[in-house]
Structure 1
C-alpha cells in the first residue's frame, strides 16, 4: 500500500473544512433570524435582553399556535436557550412562562444548577479571550496620534508663564521717550548758570 503524503492529505481536507465552516455560519445566521422572528411574534415570553425562564415543552405550544414551522421553532430555541442572559435568569424558584407570558411552573434546583454551570463556562471563555488580547503597549496609536514617551510632559506640569515682576516690556510696548528740552543738552555748569539767571530775573520782577 502506497503511503500518502501528509501534505496531500491536508490539502484534500482543506476544502471540506472551509465548506463546513461556511455551513456552520449559514446555519447560525438562519437560527438567529428565526429567533428574531420568535421574539417579534411572542414578545411577552421572548426577550433576549430581559429573558424569562421558559415553560418546559414550550416548543409544543409554539407548534400548536401555528405561526412558525417546527423547523423554525427548533432553530429559534436552539439559539435562545443558549444565550448568556438566558442562563443568568435561570434561578431556582423563578416562574417559568408560556407563549403569552403567563407563569406556569418554576425553575427547579437541578435546572438552576445546570444553567449556572453553562453560565460559568461562558464567563471562563470570555476571560480567556480577554487575556489573549494584546496589551495596551502593543496596540496601534490612536487616530489623534500618541506622542513618544520622551515628548510627553509630566502629569501635573503647567506651561511656564512669564513673571510680572522685574519683567522687561517689549520694545514695541514701551512708551516713546519725551523730546529732550534744549537746556538738557547743555553742560551741567551752563545749566546751573541759566537757572540762576532765571531765578534773579524772577526776583527782580
Structure 2
C-alpha cells in the first residue's frame, strides 16, 4: 500500500475514536495496534472454535498442513504476519474502489447526469489517468458518501434512530473485504447496542455458516415465541 494511503488510513482510524470491545484489553484502536486487536479478539478465537469442533485425527491433519498455528491447551495462537501469509494475496489492489482510470464499479455508483463514472476520493481524483480537467471530487460527493457510509452514522454523527441490534459475520479468508471493516462496525456499536460479531475460520467472501443461529438470534431480539397454536 502506498505510504500516502497508509497515512490517510491511520488518520481516519484515529478520527473515529473507537475503543476495543469490552473485555478485549484494548483501549483506543489505531493503525498501530489493529493487527494485534484482530488476532486476539477475533482470529485466534475463530481458529480455536474451528479446531475444537474437529475430531482429534482431523485436527492433527489440519495442524500438520497449517504449521503457523500453535495449538496448546485447547487454544490456537499465531502472529498477524503468518495469518496474512496463510490468507494470501488480496483480490483487489489499492486504491480498491476508486480506480485511477474510473473503471471500478463503485465509480459508476457515483455517476451523475450524463457522466457515467466519477471519482469520490481526493486521492484518486488527484491521480486520475483519464485526462479529466479537474483533479477534485464534485461538490455533491461528500453528502453522497455520508449517505452510504455506516461509520458516519455510528461514529462521526451518531444516528439515534439506528438499529440497536447487530449481527456481523466475515470469513477470515475474505480477500475482498478488509477485516477492519466489520471490526470497526462492531467497535462503533460500543454505543451500547447489542453486537454479535465473529469471523468464520478459513471461509471466504460472503460466507454464511451459521444461518440457524442467526434465526435464533432474530427470535431472541424480537421476542418471537413461535406461531400461535
TM-score, normalised to structure 1's length?
Answer: 0.21
The one of the two structures with greater contact order (alpha-carbon pairs below 8 A, sep at least 6) is 2
Q: Which has the higher helix share?
A: 1
Q: Which has the higher strand share?
A: 2
Larger Rg: 1
TM-score, normalised to structure 2's length?
Answer: 0.20
